[in-house]
Amino acid sequence: MGCRIMTDMLQPLTGERRELEQRELLCEMLRLFYDKGWVSGTGGGLCARLDDGRLLVAPTGVHKERVQPDDLFLVEPVEGTIVRPPALQSLRPSECTPIFRAVIRARGAGSVVHSHALSAVLAADLADEGALLIHGLEMLKGVRGAASADAHLVPVIVNTPRESELVEQVEAALADPRFEATGAILVSDHGAYIWGIDVWEAKRHTEVYHFLFEAVKARRA
């Protein structure tokens, strides 16, 4: 028995077991982010890409800290159609799904987080020509490919009445060479989208960027 457990641990998870692991991990992330005030008031969301390209997406309009693994939607990435809805029929997939798909297409992200943090809203107020400049902060090296001495530009786009209407601006920001190094997009009066190559890098970037947003805001106060 002991040998079998060891063998199981050494083999990479595939198929259903991998999906279950990712479902549990996303729920854990939602609880962590809720405690930080980043997905409170039923706002915010997140997704993860499975090995076959399909996406696990959190439901919208629900208390994020109480989302269960079975509450996540399985979504086809190209058209965004729902492959498998949760058993609970009252749930709706995140309104951010088209934005998640745009970030995955443009940046090859494996996981995208949508934050409604106050620090993101206040940092977006400091935008100059559609960008927030972050520099002189050691924490910058927590962003993949960035160094603490960099002048790091995060795009700031304008909020729209419906979340799905942000897609065009998100795509333009992702295609803008000024923002090649960014792992985040700020949305004025609203929050931020932050991504990584997998759930763990998205978590790191989410923590790093929220620190940076708070630092920039505090310094300019």
Active-site residues, by number, are 138
Closest CA relative to residue 187, chosen from 103, 98, 125:
125
Interatomic CA distance for residues 72 and 85, integer angstroms: 7
The alpha carbons of the chain give a radius of gyration, in whole angstroms, of 18
The pair phi, psi for residue 12, each rounded to 5°, is -65, 145
Report the first-to-last Cα separation within the chain, whole angstroms: 60
Q: Are 183 and 144 in contact (CB under 8 A)?
A: yes
Q: Which residues, listed in sequence order, are joined to residue 47 by a DSSP beta bridge? A: 57, 112
Q: What is the DSSP string of 93-118?
A: B-TTHHHHHHHHHHH--SEEEEE--H
